[in-house]
Amino acid sequence: MIKTILFPSSFFNTQKVDEDLQAEYDAVIATGLFDVIIFGYEKWFNQGKLVLNKIPAEMTKVVYRGWMMKPEEYESFYKKLEDNNIELATSPKEYELMHIFPNVYEYVKEDTAKMEIFKLHERISVEHLKESFDRFMVKDYVKSVKGTEFPRYFDAKVLKQDEFDSWMEVFYKYRGDLLTGGICIKEYLSFRREDGNTNEYRVFYVNNKPLTISRNSGQGIDSKMPPQELVEKYANLNSCYYTVDYAELEDGSWRIIEAGDGSVSGLSDNQDYTDYYKKLYEAFNKKRMGEKYD
């Protein structure tokens, strides 16, 4: 049974939830289904010290909802919580599988963009990339740097080596201490757009069943949804709580564009947070027989 949610605190007050997660916290309370435990944000993320607003009297299984951690940090978090009678629903092995895209890539590569992996700070040969890609984007094992001046994609046919080297220095600057794993070079896909928005959906999976599916890019409510067959195809990944993002291409086909650990994957803006947590409670605590995804 899982009847507790674990949130990070405000940076300034360990007794209050992180301000950016207040809406989720309020939704959890509104369900009347969960207890809540809060851990000190600043102490953990800046000092590696675990401070809890309360410690259960006996071992309690919880769902974490909060910010990303590197796999080694999450493993330490998991072990320190165990010392305080708290067991995270997602094991370190499950977290690492879904949080590090090259790990899950082997399971989803049939339906996602082609990708090559390089070591951090390795000089990546543009001539080599031209053999595999027409256009490509750059990420580390977890994140890109979208929202900056760094290009959304590169055209391999016209790209010069010194130009790409300079841009990679910009990439490393923006990722900074958040750099994780290595560098992923991914085929850049052409998405279908409506009023500038891609037709993209995020699916949360719990115990290998689709929990919710929600519009994830500001597209209209009548937008075409990903095929149910595709959504159910990836309900068998080796984690109890994860997400997969699907997007429609210009030709009407669908591809996986991202996957992640459910604990650190954000809810979509249009989701009903209270409804989400009611479904989360049900999925972790009851068997759902013969239901279709929403």
Mean pLDDT over residues 225-241, rounded? Answer: 98
| Domain assignment of residue 105, yes or no | no
Res. 194 pLDDT band, cuts 50 70 90: confident
pLDDT band at 119 (very low <50, low <70, confident <90, very high): very high
Residues 242-273 pLDDT 10s: 999 999 999 999 999 999 999 999 999 889 99
Contact 140, 181 (CB under 8 A): yes
**207 with 252, same domain?**
yes
pLDDT band at 291, cuts 50/70/90? very low
Shared domain for 164 and 205, answered yes or no, is no
Whether residues 148 and 77 share a domain: the answer is no
Here the tokens at position 91 are 């094991």
Res. 294: pLDDT tops 70:
no
Q: Residue 202's domain is classified under what CATH number?
A: 3.30.470
Residues 195 and 275 in one domain: yes
Mean of the per-residue pLDDT values for the chain? 95
Q: Read off the pLDDT of each residue in 233-240 and give the average, rounded to a whole number.
A: 98
Same domain, yes or no: 140 and 125: yes
Residues 265 and 239 in one domain: yes
Residue 245 has which token pair?
Answer: 């993002």
Residue range 9-41, pLDDT digits in tens: 999 999 999 999 999 999 999 999 999 999 999
Q: Which domain holds residue 227?
A: 191-285
The reply to whether 160 and 199 lie within a common domain is no
Asked if residue 143 belongs to a domain, the reply is yes
Q: Is residue 293 scored above 90 in pLDDT?
A: no
Domain boundary among 167, 186, 205: 186
Tell whether 200 and 281 lie within a shared domain. Answer: yes
* Residue where a domain terminates, one of 186, 217, 245: 186
Q: What is the pLDDT of residue 205?
A: 98
pLDDT value at 195 more than 90: no
**pLDDT over 90, % of the chain:** 95
Looking at the structure, do residues 221 and 268 belong to the same domain, yes or no? yes
Q: Is residue 201 part of a domain?
A: yes
Report the percent of the chain where pLDDT is more than 70. 97
With respect to residue 291, please indicate whether it lies within any of the assigned structural domains.
no
Q: What is the DSSP string of the chain?
A: ---EEEEEBPSS-TTSB-GGGHHHHHHHHHHT--EEEEE-HHHHHHH----BS---SS-EEEEE-S----HHHHHHHHHHHHTTTEEESS-HHHHHHHHSHHHHHHHHGGGB--EEEE-TTPPPPHHHHHHH-SEEEEEESS---TTSSS-S-EETTT--HHHHHHHHHHHHHHHGGG--S-EEEEEPP-B-EETTEE-EEEEEEETTEEEEEEE-SS--TTPPPPPHHHHHHTTTSS-SEEEEEEEEBTTS-EEEEEEEEGGGPPPPTTS-HHHHHHHHHHHHHS---SPPP-
Q: Is residue 293 part of a domain?
A: no
Looking at the domain assignment, is residue 96 inside a domain? Answer: no
Q: Is residue 257 part of a domain?
A: yes
Q: What is the pLDDT of residue 110?
A: 97
- How many C-beta atoms lie closer than 10 Å to residue 224's C-beta? 13
Predicted confidence at residue 162, as pLDDT, reads 98
Q: How many domains does the chain have?
A: 3
Domain boundary (153, 186, 219) is at: 186
Residues 81 and 137 in one domain: no
**Tens digit of pLDDT for each residue in 120-179?**
999 999 999 999 999 999 999 999 999 999 999 999 999 999 999 999 999 999 999 999
Backbone angles phi, psi at 140, to 5 degrees: -90, -165
pLDDT tens-place string over residues 54-103 = 999 999 999 999 999 999 999 999 999 999 999 999 999 999 999 999 99
pLDDT bin (cut points 50, 70, 90) of residue 287 is low
Confidence of residue 204 (pLDDT cuts 50, 70, 90): very high
Do 20 and 39 belong together in one domain? yes
Looking at the structure, tell me whether residues 235 and 268 fall in a common domain. yes
pTM over 0.85: yes
pLDDT of residue 73: 98
